[in-house]
Structure 1
Amino acid sequence: MFSGIRSFIGVFGVLSLLSWSLWTLTVSQVSIIEKAFGLSSSETGWLFTIWEIGYVICTVFASYFGPRVHQTRAIGFFNIVCGLSAFLFALPHFVAFKDGVEYINGHNRSTGLKTDDFNADKLCAPHQNTSALDKDMSDGFGQKKVSAQSNKVLAFALFNVAMILQGVGKAPCYPYSAQYVDDNVDQAKTGFYIGIITSIAIFGLMLGYGTGSLISNVHVTLKETPLSSKDPRYIGAWWLGFIILGVATLAISVPMFFFPRRLGHDKTDQMQKVAASASSHREVGTLKAELKYVAVTLLSIGKSIVYVFTLIAACFNVLSVSIFLGFEPKYMETQFSVPSSTASIFVGVMSIAALSIGTLLGGVVTRRGNTTPFRLILTIIGLWVTVTMLLAVAMVLGCGSQTVFNPLNNDTLAAALPCSCNHTEFLPICSEGVSYFSPCHAGCTNTSAGAFSACTLIPSGSAVGGLCGNSCGMLWPYSVVKFVLNLVDAIASIPIFLVFLRSAGEERKALALGVSAAVISLGAWLPGPVIGGKLIDSSCLFWNTASTSARFCAHYDIADQRYKLYGTMIGMRLVGVLISLVSLVSARKLKSWGHQSAQEDKNMEELVVQHNLRAEI
């Protein structure tokens, strides 16, 4: 059962699907986790950065020890690490909040409460002065403030450890699997089998977003709740998906330990593989010689103007992607007032379709077109310019910011408000298209069946929970433009990799690809999520801090957020295009790249798809 290449492809394909689904599941739950634990977007952005740190560090060591280890057992071990990281990511639900009920603002989230009772503490409380109310809150929730902050610190620490382990567990699996396949099949078939693995892994993107969509509609306690999913206080069962995928990953990892170092081959073929491997080890030489060779090779690669400036330009373009990548579902939730489940489905479909079709079209473009250095870089610049223009279109496809009525901003209304309200807890209600800061700030004194009545500052006297709907009709136009944008980006990835592969020379192409991956990771993937988080936080209007010293953003200036995010991404793209012009000028002097076989192009294309799994999710 564990002696054939098809068995290996099947098992590893499923593991690839599960490992990538863990990443996209995390992306889909960003807004819920921020709300649950009082995290800012800068902090959740750091979680994606720490994933990249684990990924990069482990990739270096895995590449060095790759030829020396039992590769299938190593794959099994690292996937077990990945599965355990999923359990660790879910652990804050069970450790930081042992009762499973106090997730936010210190209020009890137990089930069994009637809606009226649940909303009662949000009503206008007349005949109280502010100092008395503040004292009551301090006496009642002072201990919970300390508890909430310690819970946040513990949860954030666990999230960090889980994400770095997830990166460590993911890093060696693809290079080990590719080498294992290449060592056990005819080289002409390597691209075919890697393509199968890649195709299966692509669906992991959709599995992660789909799982996130489903669990977002389940309450965090797995029980009935008086809150609707549209209520700002509602928290979905974010942790459940990690348990499910963690169990599945651990279960599928076990069969990897039963595959041999070498699958069944005839004796002659096996002897040739061993002889080739031994020869390569003999040629490595001493550590000093290896370092000298690497230094000389790097110096030679650095002399290629086309390679160096294309790499720098690619860094700026990937930085543009990484700024937005981890926050795309949250962006759609915020901009278009859609629930987390809907945003996850939209992003998942856009990603998998654009990645699949775009990579295929990129291969067609480079195989049928003229791939001389000048033409190839000109193609890249044309595609990047197209992406930049599409980003400009996407920037204007959004809804207007919602105005939230707060009587404290008007001295006359503030004096007329017969209530002492908690000014740090944003709990919006809606009446006739107007949103109010909270039931208390609208002067509401009664609640029934989730609605509020006897509201002295509302003309109709009644309201319902939540912000007023912001149905500006831009969701579908934005989604179409974003799909085309992702598609063009995926097409561009093929010629970019061809430049990296060919511009450094035949003997140096392996190191050139490694250097490009390391530089892009350090220069783009590492800082991008934190930059994106900072930009999102800077557009926050209301931070919920009631009854807890932890903060999360409860309401954004969505127009400001949109222009900051997309403006930054457009700026990065323009810098990349300008830098790539240096490569274009230099490429005019080159007649050709040198020899490159069709089979090498085929295998390279499969490598590109694996790389794009990180850039299109």
Structure 2
Amino acid sequence: MATLLVITKCIFSEIIISFIRAHFLPKLRNTMEAKDSQAKSYGSNVHYQNLQTLARDDTQHQNLIGTNEPDIDKSDTTCGIGSFRPACLQKFTNMYSFVFFYSLTGLTTSTLTIYITSQITALERQFGFSSAESGFILACNDIGFLVAVLFISHFLRNGHVPRLLSFLTGIFGISGLICALPYFVSSAYQGSGKVMETIENNEIHVSKLYRQVDQAFTTNYSFFVDMRANSTRYERDYEYMCKQPISFGNQVNNGTDGNNSKEQRTPQSTDTFALVFIAIGMIIQGVVKSGRSPLVTTYLDDNVPKTETGKYIGILTGLILLAPSISFSSATLFSKLYYTLEETDLTPEDPRWIGAWWLGFLVFGCVSFIVMIPVMLFPRKMPQKTKKWKNIPTPKLQMKWTNTHAVYNKGDTRSSLKISLKGFLKSILRLVRTRAYVLLIISLSIEFTGVAGVLSFEAKYVEVQFFLPAWKSNAYLGLTKILTLSAGAIIGGIFTTKFKLSARGSLALISGTFFLLALITCVYLITGCELPLIVGPASVPFRNPAPAEYMMPECVTSCSCDEHRFLPVCFNNTITYFSPCFAGCQDKNGTTYTNCKCLPDGSTVNSGICDTGCNTLYYYMATAFLTVFIGSTLFVPSYIATLRIVREEDKSLSIGMLTFSTSLLGWMMGPLVFGLLIDNACIVWNSSSTGRGSCSLYDNTNLKNYIYVTQMVLTLIASMLMLLALIAYIHDQKRRKRINNEQCAEMEIITDTDL
């Protein structure tokens, strides 16, 4: 704990120093460079000698102003923290080492962010969330992101980037633990008697029947003793089976206690506590995530040659994009475990199965505290090995010291802050006036709306569309994304570096690729499995009027079946029933329901939907593989286009505004919009007197069309807007060139006149 406090203190100290650097130094650079250029142009030796004198006078103030030059502050270019800077660490003072160790933190935090998308079904089943509520939880990540991204990208851009990133990674770990908290609180609540309360609210009132047994047949007593001893089993199974009227002397109890069964039934509704805490955890993740992209991109661009930026961004992005594979692979393992980690008679194929969703948040949250340590030790600035610093400072450096010292002599911190805020607003104004940049971020935002919506619910979509258990859905998606995202990002980075793509080339590449992705999306519309005809309530559109020999007269009516409890069973691999109750089943043996009075000779049925003969899953996965690979090649060109369109001093803020806009209009809106679309495809809801819960049955055809037609349209719009961005950029370049030529012509005229 003491070590943690020391580290935290150091980190907060660095943040304060970073804040000072961000406000006092950047605004002086333009003035310094201008004066230095003027001094060189006119060859003022006197001025140069005066600068030398001022520089020597300012030597005693070098530590105060915090210059970054290697000869002035070695701690800014060496690995370590405080006085702990052993020689063995200095071998890691290079960009490749930083990329490797930061990729571990980025990989862990990205895995934690993506992991929740693989557990949507488990969360909906345990806490009764609808898809719209699940979309809100996912959108909370970007709500937190939007709150902080512009301020972090502008005010902390000149801070100690590695230590800031390390600190943010630790906060990320805390957010993971917060997301896991609802499981422990919910488990404690359930352990205090929620199960027995649920049993008493179901169709069979245990306590009521106990009192009736004392007045009637004592032979039935053992049945209810067994039922109370196995209350969890009856909660899971009995409510889905046929409820036979039970006679007690002159009384007949049909399981309703004289009231309508629907009024007594209280299925699960939304758990507000869980919704709030998971949302808080996701908001914290978003706040922390806001610093990653702008800070890392600027750190790389400031410490490597400009022609090498694309390569390093591609390598780093490629390594971090292994996160989806790790996320879905771990979700496959955790989804096979029941969420209480106890033995159960349910199987992962059962619609009531809830995987151990909370384990992922716990594991990756704890790993974050480990991987944050190496990143903390990297220097503020990588040493420039090719530079030879002289004993006598250059005029540029001298002017920098002199002007900075003058600012500190003023001691007017408020004035400096005001200047910095004014510069912040001017930078935003310059960016919004750049037409190509505005069209670029609108295009990417629209594209990311579709991408975010599909990625958020992809695991659930595969599970529902192809009738798979959650662990299989996650396994297929994990295999699809293994190395695909990383390979695409790395290849995109290498391609950008190899062909030295400019902003114009990057914009053209993005526009054409978006159009290609829209065409590929059409393939999704011919994959998928139709929902089979189901013997069930009249509310089911795909109702199967079962043959007379498979439906005994009025057997369903006498069973008091609940049309809100969906648990499909298959008879003879030909007919799917809405639940065991609609087949008249009264008992269960493993995954087989027996003594089904609605079937001939009390036949049996098996859990699950009958085989539909659908074999398009592999076509879907192949299309997903191709889409992910092609789309991931655009990561680096998108960054390069953004950095090259804007002015040098605006590049950090441009990345911040890009991520702000894509989060607001893309990653935040996507889950919300697609969550509502998915809810519109629902046929059967779990409902209660307190509200609507999660969806039990979807119309697969509508589900497919709602998702992929929407994504295709959004991608086509994004492609056209990116093409307009390219046209605007070419026009602006021609205009700048014309203005420069006119200025040069004017200078030549003035020179000729003076001569």
TM-score tier by shorter-chain length is 0.7 to 0.9
Corresponding residue number in structure 2 for 1:12: 102
**Contact 2:145–2:287 (CA under 8 A) maintained in structure 1:** yes
**Pair 1:269–1:170, CA change in 2 (3 A):** farther
Report matched runs for 1:88-127 at 5 Å.
Answer: 88-98=178-188, 106=198, 119-127=237-245
Describe the superposition over 1:520-563 as per-residue Cα deviations: whole angstroms up to 9, x where unpaired: 22222221110011011110111123697551111111110000
Corresponding residue number in structure 1 for 2:474: 344
Report matched runs for 1:141-540 at 5 Å.
Answer: 152-176=271-295, 197-254=316-373, 282=404, 286-363=416-493, 365-366=495-496, 377-408=507-538, 415-417=554-556, 418-431=558-571, 432-458=573-599, 461-505=603-647, 508-540=650-682
| CA distance, structure 2, for counterparts of residue 471 and residue 53 of structure 1 | 43
| CA distance, structure 2, for counterparts of residue 22 and residue 280 of structure 1 | 48
Q: For 1:308, what is the secondary structure of its paired residue? A: helix
Corresponding residue number in structure 1 for 2:123: 33
| CA distance, structure 1, for counterparts of residue 485 and residue 576 of structure 2 | 39
- Superposition deviation, residue 318 in structure 1: 1.6
| CA distance, structure 1, for counterparts of residue 446 and residue 294 of structure 2 | 26
Describe the superposition over 1:93-142 as per-residue Cα deviations: whole angstroms up to 9, x where unpaired: 11023166769994699998897995344321233658647557766x66
Please say which of residues 485-494 and 6-15 is displaced more in the overlay.
Answer: 6-15
Please say which of residues 196-205 and 255-264 is displaced more in the overlay.
Answer: 255-264
Q: For 2:115, what is the secondary structure of its paired residue? A: helix
**Contact 2:145–2:663 (CA under 8 A) maintained in structure 1:** no
**Pair 1:88–1:300, CA change in 2 (3 A):** closer
Describe the superposition over 1:484-517 as per-residue Cα deviations: whole angstroms up to 9, x where unpaired: 1222222344444443333345564444433333
**Pair 1:53–1:278, CA change in 2 (3 A):** farther
**Contact 1:22–1:86 (CA under 8 A) maintained in structure 2:** yes
Corresponding residue number in structure 1 for 2:5: none
Corresponding residue number in structure 1 for 2:18: none
Quick one: which amino acid aligns to residue 438 of structure 1? S
Please say which of residues 257-266 and 564-573 is displaced more in the overlay.
Answer: 257-266
**Contact 1:337–1:469 (CA under 8 A) maintained in structure 2:** no
- Superposition deviation, residue 19 in structure 1: 0.7
**Contact 1:393–1:481 (CA under 8 A) maintained in structure 2:** yes
Describe the superposition over 1:414-461 as per-residue Cα deviations: whole angstroms up to 9, x where unpaired: 845321122322222111232212111221123223311232334573
Indicate which of 700, 714, 719 corresponds to 1:558: 700
**Contact 2:294–2:652 (CA under 8 A) maintained in structure 1:** no
**Pair 1:548–1:341, CA change in 2 (3 A):** farther
**Pair 1:420–1:270, CA change in 2 (3 A):** farther
Gaps of 5+ in 1: 596-617
**Pair 1:532–1:482, CA change in 2 (3 A):** same
Q: For 2:581, what is the secondary structure of its paired residue? A: coil
Please say which of residues 403-412 and 203-212 is displaced more in the overlay.
Answer: 403-412
**Pair 1:136–1:587, CA change in 2 (3 A):** closer
Q: Cα RMSD (Å) of the superposition?
A: 4.2
| CA distance, structure 2, for counterparts of residue 397 and residue 360 of structure 1 | 30
| CA distance, structure 2, for counterparts of residue 489 and residue 70 of structure 1 | 33
Please say which of residues 113-122 and 470-479 is displaced more in the overlay.
Answer: 113-122
Quick one: which amino acid aligns to residue 588 of structure 2? T
| CA distance, structure 2, for counterparts of residue 497 and residue 173 of structure 1 | 14
**Contact 1:106–1:548 (CA under 8 A) maintained in structure 2:** no
Quick one: which amino acid aligns to residue 539 of structure 1? A
**Contact 2:122–2:354 (CA under 8 A) maintained in structure 1:** yes
| CA distance, structure 1, for counterparts of residue 254 and residue 100 of structure 2 | 68
**Contact 1:116–1:450 (CA under 8 A) maintained in structure 2:** no
Q: For 2:182, what is the secondary structure of its paired residue? A: helix
- Superposition deviation, residue 51 in structure 1: 0.5
- Superposition deviation, residue 483 in structure 1: 1.5
**Contact 1:105–1:547 (CA under 8 A) maintained in structure 2:** no
Whether 1:47 aligns to 2:140 is: no
Describe the superposition over 1:10-42 as per-residue Cα deviations: whole angstroms up to 9, x where unpaired: 543322221111112111111111111100111
Describe the superposition over 1:62-115 as per-residue Cα deviations: whole angstroms up to 9, x where unpaired: 234425755444333322211111111111111023166769994699998897
Q: For 1:396, what is the secondary structure of its paired residue? A: coil
| CA distance, structure 2, for counterparts of residue 497 and residue 183 of structure 1 | 15
Gaps of 5+ in 2: 1-87, 201-226, 246-252, 408-412, 540-544, 738-755
- Superposition deviation, residue 191 in structure 1: 6.7
Flag the structure with larger Rg.
2
**Contact 1:374–1:590 (CA under 8 A) maintained in structure 2:** no
What is the TM-score with the length of structure 1 in the denominator?
A: 0.82
Quick one: which amino acid aligns to residue 324 of structure 2? L
Quick one: which amino acid aligns to residue 560 of structure 2? S
- Superposition deviation, residue 368 in structure 1: 5.9
- Superposition deviation, residue 308 in structure 1: 2.8
- Superposition deviation, residue 472 in structure 1: 0.8
Please say which of residues 42-51 and 468-477 is displaced more in the overlay.
Answer: 468-477
| CA distance, structure 1, for counterparts of residue 188 and residue 295 of structure 2 | 40
**Contact 2:154–2:424 (CA under 8 A) maintained in structure 1:** no
| CA distance, structure 2, for counterparts of residue 582 and residue 9 of structure 1 | 35
**Pair 1:358–1:195, CA change in 2 (3 A):** closer
Corresponding residue number in structure 2 for 1:543: 685
Quick one: which amino acid aligns to residue 486 of structure 1? V
Quick one: which amino acid aligns to residue 503 of structure 1? I
**Contact 1:444–1:453 (CA under 8 A) maintained in structure 2:** yes
Quick one: which amino acid aligns to residue 338 of structure 1? L
Indicate which of 79, 83, 91 corresponds to 2:169: 79
Describe the superposition over 1:322-374 as per-residue Cα deviations: whole angstroms up to 9, x where unpaired: 22121111111111112222222322333343322323443455456695776
Describe the superposition over 1:385-424 as per-residue Cα deviations: whole angstroms up to 9, x where unpaired: 1111111111221111233211556799784532112232
**Contact 2:240–2:565 (CA under 8 A) maintained in structure 1:** no
**Pair 1:504–1:61, CA change in 2 (3 A):** closer
> RCO higher in 1 or 2 (8 Å CA, sep ≥ 6)?
1
Please say which of residues 527-536 and 200-209 is displaced more in the overlay.
Answer: 200-209
**Contact 2:507–2:725 (CA under 8 A) maintained in structure 1:** yes
**Contact 1:152–1:550 (CA under 8 A) maintained in structure 2:** no
Number of residue pairs the alignment of both structures matches:
589
| CA distance, structure 1, for counterparts of residue 512 and residue 311 of structure 2 | 30
Quick one: which amino acid aligns to residue 5 of structure 1? T
Report matched runs for 1:594-605 at 5 Å.
Answer: none
